[in-house]
Structure formats: C-alpha cells, structure tokens
Amino acid sequence: MEVAEFGTLDSFQYDQGRLNEPLTTNLLLDIASGLDALHKCNIIHGDVKSENVLICRHKHRKYVAKLSDFGLSIINPDPEALHKLIGGTWLWEAPEIETRMSVQGLKQTDLFSLGLLIWRVLTNKFMPYETLGQDIVNRYWSPDQKSFILSVKQDSEFCGIVLHSLRYSGIDEWAKSFGIAILPHSLGHDPKSRCLQKILGEMQNPRRGIPQR
C-alpha cells in the first residue's frame, strides 16, 4: 500500500499548527474532489473525518490529501431501495444518521461530515464544538458530552450556529470568509440543501487565490 508520509489530517494539523491559506484550500479541495469521485462511482464513504484522511507526498506541491478507510462504506447501493448507514463516528456524522434513506440521502450524509471536517480544520481545534457560544452551551447543556453534541446537531439552525462560532473563534478573516461561503452547502439541516458541486465551485473560486494544482 502507498505510504502516507505525513500521517492523517488530524495528526498533520497538530504537528503543523494552523495551516496557511493555500495549503488549507488545496487539502480541502483534495478531500471534496475525492468524495465527488466516490459518489460518481456510487460509493458512499460513511465515515468522513480527519482521522480518515491521509496526507501523502505530492511531486508538484509537496502535500496531497487522500480519503481512506472504507470499512463503513456502502458500495453500489440499489438506487430503488432505502438504505441505512453501516456505522460512523458520532462526533462527525449527520443528524439523520439513524433513518433509512435513498442513495442521494446517503451521499448527503457524507457532505454533512465533510462540513464538520472543514469546520474542524478552519478552527484548528480537535473539538470545534468548543467554539460554540455560551448561549448554545446553556440551551443544550448536558453532563454527557455525546448528548450535548447530538442535540446541537439536531437544531434546525445548526449551520448558522457554526457560522456564528467562526465569527467569534479568533480565526483570521480568510478562514471566516471561506467557511461562510462553503459551510451552508454542507451543514444544512435539510439534506437537500447540501450540494457537493457548490462546495467544489466555492473552493475553486479564483478570488480565493488557490494556487496552480
């Protein structure tokens, strides 16, 4: 198997600290493009998170991100049937994870997880939920962390809650604007509002200054 010289995305970010704009954009675009390729092959990843992204050497731009770990993936599901995901990681999964859904619905759960991964990268925190405002903490407070996070993700305004956290989390203006442009297309409470093509379009927008790939 190919060696991932720089480990997983979470360990890479821990080692590197806050990633610069070109590197952040390139790595997130790698991940979104990989997810797009999977979906076009009728494969649902099922467990998109930083720990399942490998950072490998790239001959032209040093680093490239690659999706890995397909142990919970659904491959070539029947388009006429309803399906339920095999599993996932509760921190990073969509709120509708327990329901049976169409193939398109399955793909949209991957997009929600992608949005959480992007939030995590932009805030440079292992647990981006720590950036939520005190009003949200008070509203959904629970002595059990899992119950708290699941309740927050069930909020119909979850995307707005995340965007609010970006504005007041101390990150730079570029990261804020990047998140504000992209996260509404991945963290919508209504799965139909999530759109990978819009995410890719925003990531490749020339005004974001993405370097040549």
Catalytic site residue 47? Answer: yes
Residues 190, 191, 197, 199, Cα dihedral to 10°: 60
Catalytic entry in 15, 47, 110, 135: 47
Distinct helix (H) and strand (E) counts, the chain: 8, 4
Compute the 3-state secondary structure of the chain and give helix, strand, coil in percent, each to the nearest 5.
Answer: 55, 10, 40
Distance, in Å, from the CA atom of 82 to the CA atom of 130, rounded to the nearest integer, reads 35
Closest C-alpha to 152, from 166, 164, 167, 162: 162
Count CB-CB contacts under 10 A for residue 192.
9
Q: What is the largest CA-CA distance in the chain?
A: 49
Active site residues: 47
